[in-house]
């Protein structure tokens, strides 16, 4: 098993390019199932989740050509309409094949994802929406079996705001007979990125970026070339690396307009931030100030940045309350951070973080993707050596993380 070894205490200084967004690339790869034509996708990050998704699509019969960050997918013939448990359990986003597969091929068998480290994460909203569009769905032996001659447009009001739920239904609706309205849709920028890709493929979608998305179904979609948006969570993670270590960073090929809530909180913590359309510069001159925050669906503060911000608060002046409203079990990094001298108490869905003068290096264990990122950040600012075990979580979602951090002055290496 691979580990990351970090010698802490070096401020993060320099310039880094932000990769394509994992959470936009994954649904966009699945959009290839909606057409027999070639879909060329640019700026696809090299991540384990992307590789898992390509393996899944390949098994279904999608032809795949890759050339660095550019991929061409052709789903001319779909022959194996199954997403097996082995794949869905390692990457929940595999559920995103359900909507497009059903819409295009009229059938799909997708494993139920089951629980995961950060919470229960059911998929009832995906199923409810597809049933409203006329799909016959049965759950048997842990699998969703879905069938439909052709999906019909429907008026769907989501009970809760779900990102992949909205994406699955939006993709399915592009080929349905008639108009679908999704109310209480999630508004994450990655959903808009997927919608823009679908529009480039000939889909008729209105209300992109709002919580009411209207999709007029068409007979077929065609090929297109589409560039994936930059990763806002990778952006936020590097910003916190610089802020927590008292450094200065310039991020290029990013999208500050997708990070308003995170940038506001960083400024509240005392960071000086400048930005242009595709760049952000952050400078931290003083020790950070504690900042209260509450995660919620976009445009509020993202749950995927909660663990990282906790590290900043753990060395800030004062006490802060971090409230997690999206996932019920997303504080697993707390126990590990406490091993590094952080002063954090969890009460229900709130973590009370009292800033300490310094964190201490320790052996810690990564438990999920964003928790792993928080441990890397903690290791960067801690006194002495931190060894992070189970970093396969990190490789699911951060491209070339140790190379990028090394270029910024961090002393970090991978060991087996
Ligand atoms: C997506 C992101 C993930 C992010 C999360 C919340 C991808 C690939 N992943 O995950 O990085 O942390 O959004 O921003 O884009 N829920 C239900 N029923 C459903 C669906 C969801 O109860 O049918 C609940 C979940 O358990 C959770 C909440 O809704 O409590 C939000 O989950 P959701 O937005 O669906 O998360 P994902 O799309 O899985």
C-alpha torsion angle, residues 282, 283, 287, 291 (rounded to 10): -20
Nearest residue CA, atom 4 of ligand 1? 304
Query: For residues 305 and 313, is the Cβ–Cβ distance under 8 A?
Result: no
Q: What is the mean pLDDT of residues 389-399?
A: 91
> Is pLDDT of 354 > 70?
yes
The band of 115, judged by pLDDT with boundaries at 50, 70 and 90, is low
Cα diameter, the chain: 63
Q: What is the pLDDT of the chain when averaged over all its residues? A: 96
Choosing from 24, 165, 194 the residue with most ligand 1 atoms within 8 A of its CB, the one to mutate for a pocket test is: 165
Task: Give the bridge partners for 412, in sequence order.
Answer: 6
From the CB of 143, is ligand 1 less than 6 Å away? Answer: no
Mark whether 116 is an active-site residue.
Answer: yes
Which of ligand 1's atoms lies nearest the C-alpha of 96?
8
Region of residue 406 (phi > 0: left; psi between -120 and 50: alpha; otherwise: beta): alpha
pLDDT digits (tens, 9 = 90+) for 137-174: 999 999 999 999 999 999 999 999 999 999 999 999 99
Catalytic residue among 30, 116, 197, 354, which? 116
CA distances from 223 to 236, 267, 334, 412 (A): 33, 42, 46, 42
pLDDT confidence of residue 114: 65
From the CB of 151, is ligand 1 less than 6 Å away? Answer: no
From the CB of 25, is ligand 1 less than 6 Å away? Answer: no
> Is pLDDT of 117 > 80?
no
From the CB of 126, is ligand 1 less than 6 Å away? Answer: yes
pLDDT confidence of residue 116: 64
Omega cis (within 30) before 299: yes
Helix%, strand%, coil% for the chain, nearest 5: 35, 30, 35
pLDDT digits (tens, 9 = 90+) for 331-352: 999 999 999 999 999 999 999 9
């Amino acid at each position: 098993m691979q580990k990351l070894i970090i010698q802490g205490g070096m401020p993060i200084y320099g310039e880094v390019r932000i990769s394509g967004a994992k959470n936009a690339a994954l649904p966009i790869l699945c959009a290839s199932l909606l057409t027999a034509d070639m879909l060329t996708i640019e700026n696809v990050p090299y991540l384990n989740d992307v590789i898992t998704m390509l393996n899944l699509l390949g098994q279904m019969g999608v032809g795949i050509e890759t050339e660095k960050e550019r991929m061409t997918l052709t789903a001319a013939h779909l022959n194996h309409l199954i997403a097996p448990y082995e794949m869905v359990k390692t990457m929940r986003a595999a559920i995103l094949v359900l909507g497009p597969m059903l819409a295009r091929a009229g059938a799909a068998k997708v494993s139920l994802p089951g629980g995961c480290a950060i919470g229960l994460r059911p998929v009832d909203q995906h199923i409810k929406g597809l049933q409203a569009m006329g799909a016959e769905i049965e759950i048997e032996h842990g699998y969703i079996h879905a069938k439909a001659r052709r999906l019909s447009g429907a008026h769907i009001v989501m009970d809760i705001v779900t990102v992949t739920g909205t994406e699955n239904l939006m993709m399915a609706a592009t080929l349905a007979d008639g108009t679908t309205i999704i109310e209480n849709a999630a508004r994450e920028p990655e959903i808009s990125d997927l919608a823009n890709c679908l529009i480039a493929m000939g889909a008729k979608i209105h209300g992109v970026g709002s919580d009411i998305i209207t999709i007029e179904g068409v007979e077929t979609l065609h090929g297109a070339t589409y560039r994936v948006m930059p990763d806002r969570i990778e952006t936020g993670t590097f910003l916190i690396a610089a802020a927590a270590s008292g450094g200065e960073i310039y991020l290029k090929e990013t999208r500050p307009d997708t990070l308003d809530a995170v940038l506001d909180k960083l400024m509240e913590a005392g960071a000086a931030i400048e930005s242009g359309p595709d760049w952000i510069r952050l400078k931290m001159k003083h020790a950070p100030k504690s900042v209260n925050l509450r995660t919620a669906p976009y445009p509020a503060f993202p749950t995927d940045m909660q663990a990282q911000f906790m590290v900043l608060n753990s060395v800030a002046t004062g006490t802060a309350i971090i409230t997690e409203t999206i996932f019920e079990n997303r504080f697993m990094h707390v126990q590990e951070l406490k091993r590094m001298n952080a002063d954090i108490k969890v009460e229900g869905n709130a973590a009370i973080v009292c800033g300490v003068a310094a964190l201490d290096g320790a052996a810690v264990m990564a438990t999920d993707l964003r928790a792993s990122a928080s441990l890397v950040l903690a290791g960067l600012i801690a006194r002495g050596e931190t060894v992070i075990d189970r970093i396969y979580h990190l490789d699911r979602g951060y491209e070339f993380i140790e190379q990028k951090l090394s270029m910024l002055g961090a002393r970090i290496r991978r060991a087996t």
